[in-house]
Amino acid sequence: MSYVGPEFEPAQPRRPRRGPLTVALAALVPGALLGWMVYEAVGGGTGGGSDRAAATASPSGSAAVSSSPSPTDDGKGASGAAAGSGSLKGKVVVIDPGHNPGNFQHAAEINRKVDIGTNDKECDTTGTSTNDGYTEARFTLDVAHRLSALLQKQGATVKLTHDGDRPAWGPCVDERARIGNDAHADAAISIHADGSAAGNRGFHVILPGSVHAGAADTRKIVGPSHDLGTRVAGAFLRDTGEPPSNYLGEGTGLVTRTDLGGLNLSTVPKVFIECGNMRDSKDAALLTSGAWRQKAAQGLFDGISDFLNAQRN
């Protein structure tokens, strides 16, 4: 994800990794039992991840990834075994594929400022890419299609914020939030990949902080969004083997922010995920693999379905 300018953000300083025990203990998602289950499933963990901001909270461990890179595998809506328990019929999920492949050609439009409650911010940004030119926008839309297929297979109603059905840029961050709000989504997720320095690895989930300013009021969604985020982080770790960020979140895989319009303006439970760092060769090899992207979609599905099913109880 690129938050600054038309190109890529500057590299961020690395933070020290936490040891396996620290990361495992951080995975006490809603409670000790779930954390123990995640730790046992993965066998411990190390740090790893992507993005910029202050850290908080929790998931854990890591596992070996066996998929081999395959940059040409872009299967839209690819199939995969749905692992969630119970039907998702009646549930609404909004998927927000970060950025848009056409943003590079529409600098004036995406640089237009919009109100995000706390301040004005650019409508959107270009996103990042791997060193070989595989773009974040292409990655996010592919994972969104795969995730959508898994959710629909379990009966969920799915809406994407964009899917080739609009002009070749955007939508703006305020509109992305509004789409989830208007759909009365039970859960919303914005999919991204980071553009940090080489050597910075891993995923992190961005949670909304408490904001009450202007058009933004996240106070009612902070709690459920934290629950959604911790479940997504635990499942993503387990299903993909990608470690939590080694440069943000202090090994927890969770980061809280109050400067993102897509979260500030949301009135439904919502999180962002940075699935890995496109500028690191090891992460790039995963992000460009269709097989790994299917694992990423499965991890997102498992976390979201776990959250949705928990809401029924």
Find the mean pLDDT for residues 228-236.
98
Find the mean pLDDT for residues 192-215.
97
Question: For the segment 8-55, what is each residue's pLDDT rounded down to a tens digit?
Answer: 333 334 444 444 333 333 343 333 333 333 333 333 332 333 333 333
Query: Alpha-carbon distance 282 to 200, whole Å?
Result: 10
Q: Pick the catalytic residue: 122, 136, 242, 274? A: 274
274 in catalytic set: yes
Find the mean pLDDT for residues 107-120.
93
pLDDT at 66: 29
Of 119, 111, 75, 291, give the one whose Cα is nearest residue 216: 119
Question: For the segment 160-182, what is each residue's pLDDT rounded down to a tens digit?
Answer: 999 967 778 999 999 999 999 99
**Of 32-41, 129-138, 275-284, where does mean pLDDT reach its minimum?**
32-41
**Residue 275 contacts residue 289 (beta carbons within 8 Å):** no
pLDDT-derived band at 1, boundaries 50, 70, 90: low
Alpha helices by DSSP H, listed for the chain, are 20-26, 32-42, 107-111, 136-153, 173-182, 222-240, 261-264, 281-287, 290-312
The angle, 0 to 180 degrees and rounded to 10, between the axes of the packed helices 290-312 and 136-153 is: 50
pLDDT-derived band at 250, boundaries 50, 70, 90: very high
Query: Alpha-carbon distance 286 to 119, whole Å?
Result: 36
pLDDT-derived band at 246, boundaries 50, 70, 90: very high
**Residue written as token pair 């919303």:** 188
Please indicate whether residue 134 or residue 20 has the higher confidence score (pLDDT): 134
pLDDT at 43: 36
**Residue 296 contacts residue 143 (beta carbons within 8 Å):** yes
Query: Alpha-carbon distance 260 to 118, whole Å?
Result: 9
| Helix, strand, or coil (residue 188) | strand
Q: SS3 breakdown of the chain: % helix, strand, coil, rounded to 5?
A: 35, 15, 50
Write the DSSP symbol of residue 129.
B
Please indicate whether residue 221 or residue 4 has the higher confidence score (pLDDT): 221
Class of domain 20-64+85-312: alpha beta
| List of E strands, 69-137 | 92-97, 113-115, 120-122
pLDDT at 269 over 70: yes
The strand pairing partners of 160, in sequence order, are 95
Query: Alpha-carbon distance 31 to 219, whole Å?
Result: 22
Find the mean pLDDT for residues 260-281.
98
**Residue written as token pair 């760092």:** 277
Write the DSSP symbol of residue 279.
T
